[in-house]
Amino acid sequence: MVKKPYFLFLSMIMFVLIMSGCSKNDPSTKPEDTKQDSLNEKVELTVSAAASLQDSLNEITTAFEDENPNVKINYNFGASGSLQQQIFQGAPVDLFFSAAEDKFDQLVEEGLIEKENEIDLLGNEIVLVVPKDSDKGITSFEDIGKAVKISIGTPESVPAGKYAKETLENLNIWKSIEGKMVFAKDVRQVLTYVETGNVDAGIVYKTDALVSSKVNIVATAEENTHAAIIYPVGIIKSSSHIKEAKLFYEYLQNKESKKTFEKYGFKGLN
């Protein structure tokens, strides 16, 4: 005959074993679900990009986020020189899309961008623009002296300004008009000055001029008057989201993205 206390002890052991088995089979603790939660985690990327890329990148990003709902792209648009300095100083950036090779290459040389994660992606052109209702008779770079005020980006920090100055120097015009210059923080500010009539002429990227209905392009700089205009893009080595950064980096190089860049006036290099 089994004693009652011993029977109660066996019953308790059986109960514990049964509950333990149920716990292991509980769907809420499946490793697959934990993995799925990780895949659905929202990731935000910060992309520092030249101001001239704003319109094309906004369109490309809409398509990218539709296809990759767990990744959100946040932009920091500005002059490439200023953006480069921010990255040098430790700004939390995942990708850098520059309008100038020299600014970009300094980050590569310092080891902040690895060579296997960077590419020269786009080309552009420099153009002379005037307000839509201009009556100054400016139809070429040689006519730019007719302007009372002329705007370009600050050459030291704005690549478009550097190319503009090079063009004017190579045409032997710079010295005669240097005193008329109104320097801007980026190419979009130059465009705004021209659109509002605050200056009589400005030199900007062709891509920026094409998106404005308030200016006329009167001349395009010859390629031999300035350094090649190349837009490199790369992943910042310290990015905390390398996998997602690489996903967007590769997306920028696909066929559809290239078509969008070309629609806004950029030239593909690859």
Which residues contribute to the annotated binding site? 52, 80, 160, 187, 205
Residues at the binding site for molybdate are 52, 80, 160, 187, 205
Structure tokens at 105: 């290459």
Contact (CB, 8 A) for 248 and 64: yes
Q: What are phi and psi of 241, to 5 degrees?
A: -135, 60
Query: Longest Cα pair distance anywhere in the chain, in angstroms?
Result: 118
State the DSSP H helix or E strand holding residue 95, giving kind and residue range, or none if neither.
strand 95-97
**8-state DSSP, 228:** -
CA 233, 239, 242, 247 torsion: positive or negative?
Answer: negative
Q: Pick from 192, 200, 202: which is nearest to 163 by CA?
A: 202
Structure tokens at 180: 């008329």
What are residue 203's DSSP bridge partners? 128
Q: Pick from 174, 177, 172: which is nearest to 162 by CA?
A: 174
Q: Pick from 26, 97, 24: which is nearest to 58 by CA?
A: 97
